[in-house]
Protein backbone atom coordinates (compact mmCIF):
# COMPACT_ATOMS: atom_id res chain seq x y z
CA UNK A 1 0.00 0.00 0.00
CA UNK A 2 1.20 3.51 -0.76
CA UNK A 3 1.62 6.27 1.80
CA UNK A 4 -1.36 8.10 0.29
CA UNK A 5 -3.61 5.08 0.80
CA UNK A 6 -2.42 4.62 4.38
CA UNK A 7 -3.02 8.30 5.11
CA UNK A 8 -6.54 8.16 3.68
CA UNK A 9 -7.31 5.06 5.74
CA UNK A 10 -6.06 6.66 8.95
CA UNK A 11 -8.15 9.77 8.27
CA UNK A 12 -11.28 7.69 7.67
CA UNK A 13 -10.64 5.76 10.89
CA UNK A 14 -10.28 9.01 12.85
CA UNK A 15 -13.57 10.28 11.46
CA UNK A 16 -15.35 7.04 12.45
CA UNK A 17 -13.98 7.30 16.00
CA UNK A 18 -15.12 10.93 16.27
CA UNK A 19 -18.60 10.07 14.98
CA UNK A 20 -18.83 7.30 17.56
CA UNK A 21 -17.57 9.42 20.44
CA UNK A 22 -19.84 12.36 19.69
CA UNK A 23 -23.16 10.86 20.91
CA UNK A 24 -21.41 9.26 23.87
CA UNK A 25 -19.91 12.58 24.95
CA UNK A 26 -23.26 14.33 24.66
CA UNK A 27 -24.93 11.60 26.69
CA UNK A 28 -22.34 11.95 29.47
CA UNK A 29 -22.43 15.75 29.51
CA UNK A 30 -24.78 16.11 32.52
CA UNK A 31 -22.53 13.86 34.59
CA UNK A 32 -19.46 15.77 33.47
CA UNK A 33 -21.07 19.09 34.41
CA UNK A 34 -21.80 17.81 37.92
CA UNK A 35 -18.28 16.45 38.27
CA UNK A 36 -16.49 19.56 36.92
CA UNK A 37 -18.82 22.56 37.37
CA UNK A 38 -16.00 25.12 37.35
CA UNK A 39 -14.94 24.16 33.82
CA UNK A 40 -18.42 24.43 32.31
CA UNK A 41 -19.22 27.62 34.24
CA UNK A 42 -16.10 29.27 32.84
CA UNK A 43 -16.95 28.10 29.36
CA UNK A 44 -20.47 29.59 29.62
CA UNK A 45 -19.04 32.86 30.95
CA UNK A 46 -16.63 33.12 28.04
CA UNK A 47 -19.38 32.39 25.53
CA UNK A 48 -21.68 34.95 27.16
CA UNK A 49 -18.90 37.54 27.14
CA UNK A 50 -18.15 36.92 23.45
CA UNK A 51 -21.84 37.25 22.54
CA UNK A 52 -22.16 40.43 24.62
CA UNK A 53 -19.15 42.00 22.90
CA UNK A 54 -20.49 41.09 19.46
CA UNK A 55 -23.92 42.57 20.27
CA UNK A 56 -22.29 45.74 21.62
CA UNK A 57 -20.17 46.16 18.48
CA UNK A 58 -23.20 45.71 16.23
CA UNK A 59 -25.10 48.22 18.34
CA UNK A 60 -22.26 50.76 18.06
CA UNK A 61 -22.16 50.23 14.29
CA UNK A 62 -25.89 50.88 13.95
CA UNK A 63 -25.65 53.92 16.23
CA UNK A 64 -22.81 55.31 14.11
CA UNK A 65 -24.85 54.82 10.93
CA UNK A 66 -27.78 56.67 12.54
CA UNK A 67 -25.70 59.53 13.94
CA UNK A 68 -23.81 60.04 10.66
CA UNK A 69 -27.06 60.12 8.65
CA UNK A 70 -26.17 57.03 6.61
CA UNK A 71 -28.46 56.61 3.61
CA UNK A 72 -28.40 54.02 0.84
CA UNK A 73 -30.45 56.37 -1.32
CA UNK A 74 -27.81 59.10 -1.06
CA UNK A 75 -25.12 56.55 -1.94
CA UNK A 76 -27.02 55.59 -5.08
CA UNK A 77 -27.42 59.23 -6.08
CA UNK A 78 -23.74 59.87 -5.35
CA UNK A 79 -22.67 56.95 -7.54
CA UNK A 80 -24.67 58.44 -10.40
CA UNK A 81 -22.94 61.78 -9.91
CA UNK A 82 -19.55 60.04 -9.75
CA UNK A 83 -20.19 58.34 -13.08
CA UNK A 84 -21.19 61.69 -14.57
CA UNK A 85 -18.00 63.36 -13.32
CA UNK A 86 -15.94 60.44 -14.64
CA UNK A 87 -17.33 60.97 -18.14
CA UNK A 88 -16.36 64.65 -17.89
CA UNK A 89 -12.78 63.66 -17.03
CA UNK A 90 -12.22 61.82 -20.31
CA UNK A 91 -9.87 62.42 -22.02
CA UNK A 92 -7.30 63.83 -19.56
CA UNK A 93 -5.92 67.11 -20.86
CA UNK A 94 -3.86 69.98 -19.43
CA UNK A 95 -5.56 72.49 -21.71
CA UNK A 96 -2.36 74.08 -23.00
CA UNK A 97 1.29 73.06 -23.26
CA UNK A 98 2.28 75.82 -20.86
CA UNK A 99 -0.15 74.55 -18.24
CA UNK A 100 1.27 71.03 -18.62
CA UNK A 101 4.76 72.28 -17.75
CA UNK A 102 3.23 74.23 -14.88
CA UNK A 103 1.76 70.97 -13.59
CA UNK A 104 5.12 69.23 -13.97
CA UNK A 105 6.76 72.00 -11.96
CA UNK A 106 4.14 71.53 -9.24
CA UNK A 107 4.78 67.77 -9.25
CA UNK A 108 8.50 68.33 -8.82
CA UNK A 109 7.73 70.71 -5.96
CA UNK A 110 5.58 68.03 -4.32
CA UNK A 111 8.39 65.48 -4.58
CA UNK A 112 10.84 67.98 -3.08
CA UNK A 113 8.46 68.68 -0.18
CA UNK A 114 8.05 64.97 0.53
CA UNK A 115 11.77 64.21 0.26
CA UNK A 116 13.01 67.11 2.38
CA UNK A 117 10.28 66.65 4.97
CA UNK A 118 10.91 62.90 5.30
CA UNK A 119 14.69 63.16 5.50
CA UNK A 120 14.53 66.10 7.92
CA UNK A 121 12.15 64.21 10.20
CA UNK A 122 14.33 61.09 10.12
CA UNK A 123 17.48 63.04 11.03
CA UNK A 124 15.77 64.86 13.90
CA UNK A 125 14.03 61.73 15.23
CA UNK A 126 17.13 59.51 15.14
CA UNK A 127 18.60 60.62 18.51
CA UNK A 128 15.14 60.76 20.09
CA UNK A 129 14.63 57.11 19.14
CA UNK A 130 17.55 56.19 21.39
CA UNK A 131 16.29 58.44 24.19
CA UNK A 132 12.86 56.76 24.07
CA UNK A 133 14.21 53.17 24.03
CA UNK A 134 13.98 51.26 27.31
CA UNK A 135 17.13 49.24 26.66
CA UNK A 136 19.25 52.38 26.09
CA UNK A 137 18.07 54.98 28.62
CA UNK A 138 18.29 53.63 32.18
CA UNK A 139 16.25 56.48 33.69
CA UNK A 140 12.64 55.35 33.31
CA UNK A 141 11.12 58.79 33.92
CA UNK A 142 13.24 60.45 31.23
CA UNK A 143 12.39 57.70 28.76
CA UNK A 144 8.65 58.03 29.46
CA UNK A 145 8.77 61.83 29.09
CA UNK A 146 10.48 61.45 25.71
CA UNK A 147 7.82 58.99 24.56
CA UNK A 148 4.97 61.27 25.66
CA UNK A 149 6.61 64.18 23.82
CA UNK A 150 6.80 62.12 20.63
CA UNK A 151 3.19 60.96 21.08
CA UNK A 152 2.06 64.57 21.46
CA UNK A 153 3.79 65.66 18.25
CA UNK A 154 2.55 62.77 16.14
CA UNK A 155 -0.95 63.08 17.60
CA UNK A 156 -1.51 66.17 15.43
CA UNK A 157 -2.29 65.37 11.79
CA UNK A 158 -0.07 66.58 8.96
CA UNK A 159 -2.86 68.76 7.59
CA UNK A 160 -3.21 70.55 10.94
CA UNK A 161 0.55 71.11 11.08
CA UNK A 162 0.36 72.53 7.55
CA UNK A 163 -2.28 75.05 8.63
CA UNK A 164 -0.16 75.98 11.66
CA UNK A 165 3.05 76.45 9.68
CA UNK A 166 1.26 78.42 6.95
CA UNK A 167 0.26 80.94 9.60
CA UNK A 168 3.83 80.96 10.97
CA UNK A 169 5.99 81.16 7.81
CA UNK A 170 3.38 81.99 5.16
CA UNK A 171 2.11 80.18 2.09
CA UNK A 172 4.40 78.04 -0.05
CA UNK A 173 6.37 74.80 -0.12
CA UNK A 174 8.49 75.74 2.92
CA UNK A 175 5.41 75.41 5.11
CA UNK A 176 4.74 72.01 3.53
CA UNK A 177 8.26 70.78 4.32
CA UNK A 178 7.92 71.91 7.94
CA UNK A 179 4.48 70.27 8.24
CA UNK A 180 5.69 66.86 7.04
CA UNK A 181 8.89 67.14 9.05
CA UNK A 182 7.00 67.92 12.26
CA UNK A 183 4.38 65.21 11.82
CA UNK A 184 6.85 62.49 10.83
CA UNK A 185 9.26 63.48 13.59
CA UNK A 186 6.91 62.01 16.19
CA UNK A 187 6.16 58.91 14.11
CA UNK A 188 9.81 58.21 13.32
CA UNK A 189 10.79 58.68 16.96
CA UNK A 190 8.30 56.02 18.03
CA UNK A 191 9.22 53.59 15.24
CA UNK A 192 12.97 54.03 15.77
CA UNK A 193 12.65 53.44 19.52
CA UNK A 194 10.64 50.25 18.94
CA UNK A 195 13.26 49.01 16.47
CA UNK A 196 16.02 49.71 19.00
CA UNK A 197 14.15 47.84 21.73
CA UNK A 198 13.93 44.69 19.60
CA UNK A 199 17.67 44.38 18.91
CA UNK A 200 19.57 41.26 19.94
CA UNK A 201 21.48 41.90 23.18
CA UNK A 202 24.33 39.50 22.36
CA UNK A 203 26.28 41.85 20.02
CA UNK A 204 25.96 44.63 22.61
CA UNK A 205 27.24 42.29 25.32
CA UNK A 206 30.14 41.30 23.07
CA UNK A 207 31.19 44.92 22.60
CA UNK A 208 30.88 45.50 26.36
CA UNK A 209 32.99 42.43 27.20
CA UNK A 210 35.70 43.71 24.83
CA UNK A 211 35.87 46.95 26.84
CA UNK A 212 33.76 49.07 24.51
CA UNK A 213 32.39 52.39 25.70
CA UNK A 214 28.64 53.20 25.69
CA UNK A 215 29.13 55.01 22.37
CA UNK A 216 30.89 51.94 20.96
CA UNK A 217 27.99 49.75 22.10
CA UNK A 218 25.61 51.96 20.15
CA UNK A 219 27.87 52.15 17.09
CA UNK A 220 28.85 48.49 16.78
CA UNK A 221 26.18 46.65 18.76
CA UNK A 222 22.89 48.42 17.93
CA UNK A 223 23.30 50.45 14.73
CA UNK A 224 24.12 47.51 12.40
CA UNK A 225 20.91 45.80 13.52
CA UNK A 226 18.52 48.75 13.18
CA UNK A 227 19.81 50.58 10.09
CA UNK A 228 18.07 48.24 7.57
CA UNK A 229 14.80 48.58 9.48
CA UNK A 230 15.12 52.37 9.66
CA UNK A 231 15.92 52.56 5.95
CA UNK A 232 12.79 50.60 5.09
CA UNK A 233 10.64 52.83 7.30
CA UNK A 234 12.05 56.05 5.83
CA UNK A 235 11.51 54.82 2.26
CA UNK A 236 7.91 53.84 3.03
CA UNK A 237 7.19 57.22 4.60
CA UNK A 238 8.68 59.01 1.59
CA UNK A 239 6.23 57.18 -0.64
CA UNK A 240 3.35 57.98 1.72
CA UNK A 241 4.40 61.61 2.08
CA UNK A 242 4.23 62.08 -1.68
CA UNK A 243 0.48 61.69 -1.32
CA UNK A 244 0.40 63.75 1.88
CA UNK A 245 2.26 66.58 0.15
CA UNK A 246 -0.53 66.64 -2.43
CA UNK A 247 -3.17 67.06 0.28
CA UNK A 248 -1.36 69.80 2.19
CA UNK A 249 -0.79 71.61 -1.11
CA UNK A 250 -4.55 72.08 -1.32
CA UNK A 251 -4.50 74.27 1.81
CA UNK A 252 -1.70 76.45 0.40
CA UNK A 253 1.51 74.57 1.20
CA UNK A 254 2.65 74.45 -2.43
CA UNK A 255 3.06 71.58 -4.85
CA UNK A 256 0.70 69.95 -7.30
CA UNK A 257 -2.11 69.95 -4.74
CA UNK A 258 -2.57 73.68 -5.31
CA UNK A 259 -3.20 73.10 -9.04
CA UNK A 260 -5.52 70.17 -8.23
CA UNK A 261 -7.58 72.31 -5.87
CA UNK A 262 -7.82 75.08 -8.46
CA UNK A 263 -8.90 72.65 -11.20
CA UNK A 264 -11.64 71.19 -8.98
CA UNK A 265 -12.84 74.65 -7.94
CA UNK A 266 -13.13 75.79 -11.58
CA UNK A 267 -14.70 72.46 -12.71
CA UNK A 268 -11.85 71.68 -15.11
CA UNK A 269 -12.41 67.92 -14.84
CA UNK A 270 -10.07 66.95 -17.69
CA UNK A 271 -7.24 68.72 -15.88
CA UNK A 272 -8.30 67.01 -12.64
CA UNK A 273 -8.01 63.58 -14.25
CA UNK A 274 -4.59 64.44 -15.69
CA UNK A 275 -3.32 65.62 -12.31
CA UNK A 276 -4.62 62.48 -10.59
CA UNK A 277 -2.95 60.27 -13.19
CA UNK A 278 0.32 62.17 -12.75
CA UNK A 279 0.17 61.62 -8.98
CA UNK A 280 -0.63 57.92 -9.37
CA UNK A 281 2.17 57.38 -11.86
CA UNK A 282 4.64 59.19 -9.59
CA UNK A 283 3.65 57.10 -6.56
CA UNK A 284 4.02 53.90 -8.61
CA UNK A 285 7.51 54.88 -9.78
CA UNK A 286 8.55 55.80 -6.25
CA UNK A 287 7.24 52.46 -4.98
CA UNK A 288 9.37 50.56 -7.50
CA UNK A 289 12.49 52.59 -6.75
CA UNK A 290 12.05 52.32 -2.97
CA UNK A 291 11.56 48.56 -3.26
CA UNK A 292 14.87 48.22 -5.12
CA UNK A 293 16.62 50.38 -2.54
CA UNK A 294 15.13 48.34 0.32
CA UNK A 295 16.35 45.11 -1.24
CA UNK A 296 19.79 46.64 -1.73
CA UNK A 297 19.97 47.72 1.92
CA UNK A 298 18.27 44.78 3.60
CA UNK A 299 19.25 42.08 1.12
CA UNK A 300 16.81 40.16 -1.02
CA UNK A 301 16.01 36.71 0.33
CA UNK A 302 15.92 34.01 -2.30
CA UNK A 303 13.95 30.88 -1.63
CA UNK A 304 15.73 27.64 -2.40
CA UNK A 305 13.73 25.35 -4.62
Domains and CATH numbers, the chain: 94-298 (1.10.3720.10)
Per-residue pLDDT of the chain (305 residues; tens, 9 = 90+): 444 444 445 455 455 545 555 566 556 666 666 666 666 555 666 777 788 899 999 999 988 888 888 777 778 777 888 888 788 878 888 878 888 888 888 888 889 999 999 999 999 998 888 888 887 777 778 888 888 888 888 888 888 888 899 888 888 888 889 999 998 998 998 888 888 888 777 777 787 777 767 777 777 777 777 888 888 888 888 888 888 888 888 887 778 888 888 888 888 888 888 888 988 888 888 888 887 887 777 665 443 44
**How far apart, in whole angstroms, are the C-alpha atoms of residue 226 and residue 142?**
22
Note the pTM of the prediction, 2 decimals.
Answer: 0.70
Query: Is the CB of residue 120 less than 8 Å from the CB of residue 181?
Result: yes
**How far apart, in whole angstroms, are the C-alpha atoms of residue 245 and residue 107?**
10
* Contacts within 8 Å (CB) and 24+ apart, 93-99: 93/270, 93/271, 93/274, 94/271, 94/274, 95/268, 95/270, 95/271, 99/271
Q: Which residues contact 141 (CB under 8 A, 6 or more apart)?
A: none
Please state, in angstroms and as integers, the Cα–Cα distance from residue 23 to each residue in 26, 27, 74, following that order. 5, 6, 53
**How far apart, in whole angstroms, are the C-alpha atoms of residue 204 and residue 225?**
10
Count helices and strands (H / E) in the chain: 13, 0
Please state, in angstroms and as integers, the Cα–Cα distance from residue 243 to each residue in 231, 249, 255, following that order. 19, 10, 11
Q: SS3 for 135?
A: coil
Amino acid sequence: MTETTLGAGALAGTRRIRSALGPAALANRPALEKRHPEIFAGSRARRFGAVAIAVALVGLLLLAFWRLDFSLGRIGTGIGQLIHFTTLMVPPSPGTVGRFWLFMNGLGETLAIALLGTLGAAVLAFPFGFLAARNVVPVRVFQLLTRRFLDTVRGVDTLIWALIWINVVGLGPFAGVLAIMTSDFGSFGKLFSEAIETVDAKPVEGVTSAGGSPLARLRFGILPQILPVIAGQVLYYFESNTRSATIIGIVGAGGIGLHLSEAIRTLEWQQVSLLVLMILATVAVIDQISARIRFAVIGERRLET
